[in-house]
Amino acid sequence: MNKRLKTVIKRDGQVVPYDRSRITNAIFKAAASTGGFGFDEADRLAQMVEERTIESYAGQIPTVEDLQDIVEAVLMQKGHLKTARSYIIYRQKRTEVREARRGAIEATDNIPYKLIYEVLRWNIEHGCESIEGLNRIISEGNYPALVESCEERYLNECRAAGKCMLERGDDVRLVIVAGPSSSGKTTTTIKLNEHLSAHGKKLKSINVDNYFFDLEMHPKDEFGDYDYETPQALDIELINEHLEQLLAGKSVKTPHYDFHSGKRTLNVREMHLEDDEVLLMDCLHGLYSDMTSSVLDQRKFRLYIETLGQLRNDQDDFLRWADHRLMRRMIRDSWHRSHDPMLTITHWHYVRKSELQYIIPYIGNVDYVVNSAMPYEFPVLKQKIFRHFPEAIQLYCRDFKRQDAFLRAQRIMQFLEPLRVAVDESVVPSKSLFREFIGGSEYAY
């Protein structure tokens, strides 16, 4: 055979090098599942598939689907009916998995461009894409209406995520709600739980925060800060052991972690997962592969939360998602973990390092993404924490070891400076995601 098949077109449109061994392996696996022929015969048939493809697509690049059609035809023509049937079934199952994952997000350089375009379009339609727009909404008395619209959009996204999961059927036994710090994972987990419960799914949550090692076991840096943002701060081995036991119908006793003392107590709460229950995991590092390695991928539904905000200033600079989450965390840490907001600012370099390494790179591997950014948040955020940024700038401007804190504080202060703050936060619903950070929620966190 003089001609060669050099490239094929993947389902996402990419042109990639052709590799006959992939065809050989697929045929061999199908044959092995029915007690059929060996590897040599599989390779011979793969060569025939390649030759047939070259004949049929002379001068053109075939798609992966084209190759698979020819595999089926060759197997049946050569009398390998059982192997052909096994191959067809395998192919159909793979198609079903792809269909079930259609909600998965496309990301380039870890940025979901299609999603943030939709976010920007929504913001423009509601007049809240800029600081100027927010000021106009506040001055015209339309702030309560903006709160209502933002809450409705977010709730609809949570419902859509639940629908996506329900379409996967009974195969899903573990729902992972993941995302970077202060993205709103806990409230989103509650909202998802409410939606699925209304459709007959029984859900049971496992709080991974309780699996932190004692704080004194974590390394310190030159400032005396503990690095508890890394997934290795969690007892990953125990997490996997408990996941495996729970999905097998066994009972476990989960630990309890006290954030005020930094101490963990083992074997505190007994937990059991019934056959008709789905395990919910609200976890900062839920997409990190080692975290759930004991569970098969087809049994997981991965939901990602991020503040995909598109808010710009008069210089057309957009507020960074991480800066938005930092402001949320400054408030939450002050009342939930007894942390001074200045400590949260200086600790944020650990947060970002961990996010960039263990969380954000997985955004392209999830089943659904929920945008938790509420444009109405910023006037409230400014009212509560703006005073801390000038202090941080003064403290750290000449400290080269704290330049991350200095630059971040300076950037946020300059961005929020023109924003009006005369808003009544009582219009924020008691079941709002934003209440997870500012307090006053009906939900127990």
CATH number at residue 423: 3.40.50.300
Query: In this structure, are 75 and 168 located in the same domain?
Result: no
Can you give the pLDDT at residue 66? 81
Sign of CA dihedral 26, 167, 244, 178: positive
pLDDT band with cut points at 50, 70 and 90 for residue 102: very low
Q: Please report whether residue 284 resides in a domain.
A: yes
- Give the number of domains in the chain: 2
Can you give the pLDDT at residue 110? 63
Query: In this structure, are 55 and 167 located in the same domain?
Result: no
Helix%, strand%, coil% for the chain, nearest 5:
55, 15, 30
Q: Please report whether residue 187 resides in a domain.
A: yes
Q: Strands, E, within 183-308: which ranges?
A: 202-207, 251-258, 263-272, 277-282, 300-306
Query: In this structure, are 141 and 241 located in the same domain?
Result: yes
Q: Most distant CA pair in the chain: distance in Å?
A: 80
Can you give the pLDDT at residue 221? 59
Q: Which of the listed residues 39, 66, 100 is the one where a domain comes to its end?
A: 100
Query: In this structure, are 208 and 70 located in the same domain?
Result: no
Q: Please report whether residue 443 resides in a domain.
A: no
Query: In this structure, are 20 and 140 located in the same domain?
Result: no
Query: Which 8-state DSSP code applies to residue 290?
Result: G
pLDDT band with cut points at 50, 70 and 90 for residue 384: very high
Orientation of helix 131-139 relative to helix 143-166, angle to 10°: 120
Query: In this structure, are 281 and 409 located in the same domain?
Result: yes
Q: What is the dihedral of CA 271, 359, 415, 227, to 10 degrees?
A: 70
User: pLDDT per residue over 263-285, tens digit each?
Assistant: 999 999 999 998 888 999 988 78
Can you give the pLDDT at residue 101? 47
Size (the chain), residues: 445
Query: Average pLDDT in the 9-36 region?
Result: 82
Output the pTM of the full model: 0.71
Query: In this structure, are 174 and 129 located in the same domain?
Result: yes
In Å, how far are 123, 317, 382, 405, 441 from 376, measured between CA atoms? 11, 18, 11, 25, 17
pLDDT band with cut points at 50, 70 and 90 for residue 59: low
pLDDT above 60: residue 97: no
Query: In this structure, are 380 and 274 located in the same domain?
Result: yes
Query: In this structure, are 198 and 136 located in the same domain?
Result: yes
Cβ distance 26 to 86 under 8 Å? no
Q: Please report whether residue 445 resides in a domain.
A: no
Can you give the pLDDT at residue 4? 79
Can you give the pLDDT at residue 68? 86
- Percentage of the chain exceeding pLDDT 90: 54
* Paired residues of 371 in beta bridges: 306
- The boundaries of the domain holding residue 170 are 113-438
The most confident of 253-262, 294-303, 430-439, by mean pLDDT: 430-439
Helix (H, G, I), strand (E, B) or coil at 321: helix
Query: Average pLDDT in the 174-178 region?
Result: 93
- Mean of all residue pLDDT scores within the chain: 88
Can you give the pLDDT at residue 1? 43
pLDDT above 80: residue 332: yes
